[in-house]
Amino acid sequence: MDAIFAQFLDAEVAARYLPAMLTAFLVTFRLAFLIVITGLSAGLVLALLRTLQIIPLSAVIVIYSDLLRCVPALTLMFLFYFALPLAGVPMTGPVAAWLSLSMVLAAFAEEIYWTAILSVHPGQWEAARSTGLSFAQTIGHVILPQAMRVAIPPLTNRTIAITKGIALASSIAVPEMLGEAIAATAYSSNSTPLLMAAAGYLIVFLPLALISRWLEPSDDGAG
């Protein structure tokens, strides 16, 4: 046990790398926040646009969603970070990570939102419109509240899985937690920084999982 504590819970190593890990935590937290807000919002907008049933627009959205769900996020990061500057578009590592992961999350979120919208019984649409509600009012007041209850569990799982891809951003010079922890572990020959990074990721993502658990519909169907 002493050897395990010395390798994974070394107080001296933790204190030495704490400032760098805190800086990396703030970078990771800000990126995660921006990716979640941007990706989920963009996905919702795309799903709502599909409800307009404009065939060319829906086709473009479907193609976008299918392509982005198949392309690795790291590939997008490399394209943004290395290719765009060659075309005269300046790009920093954090912006490249934000754009790539937001786009991937938006693609998955759009499909989840759309499936949830389709799960609402067609009679709900007809009943709402028959009372005089506009299309937008029907979506906002009747359809989305029901669809979101269906969407929350898969949306949360996919959001956490994709946003943890921030760890890939160390490959484009973003000082995020895992990259800093791996470097610190190599320099110190001690695994304590990796546990510090794991704790940081728990702080970032556990609240999201708990909020999702709270928002999920209960087993008996009650609100």
User: Residue 222's pLDDT is what?
Assistant: 43
Distance between CA atoms of residues 117 and 212, nearest Å = 19
User: Residue 30's pLDDT is what?
Assistant: 93
User: Residue 221's pLDDT is what?
Assistant: 47
Exposed / middle / buried, residue 129 (Cβ in 10 Å: 0-12, 13-18, 19+): middle
Q: Say if residues 180 and 197 touch (Cβ distance below 8 Å).
A: yes
Distance between CA atoms of residues 14 and 133, nearest Å = 59
* Closest CA relative to residue 35, chosen from 140, 107, 91: 107
pLDDT by position in tens, the chain (length 223): 777 778 788 889 989 999 999 999 999 999 999 999 999 999 999 999 999 999 999 999 999 999 999 999 999 999 999 999 998 898 999 999 999 999 999 999 999 999 999 998 888 888 888 888 888 888 888 889 889 888 988 898 899 889 889 988 988 888 888 889 999 999 988 889 999 999 999 998 888 888 777 766 655 544 4
Distance between CA atoms of residues 155 and 62, nearest Å = 18
Distance between CA atoms of residues 189 and 197, nearest Å = 16
Side chain identity, residue 78: F
Side chain identity, residue 139: I
Classify 2-215 by CATH class: mainly alpha
Give domain limits for the chain: 2-215
User: Residue 103's pLDDT is what?
Assistant: 96
- Half-sphere exposure of 139 toward its Cβ, with a 13 Å CA cutoff? 14
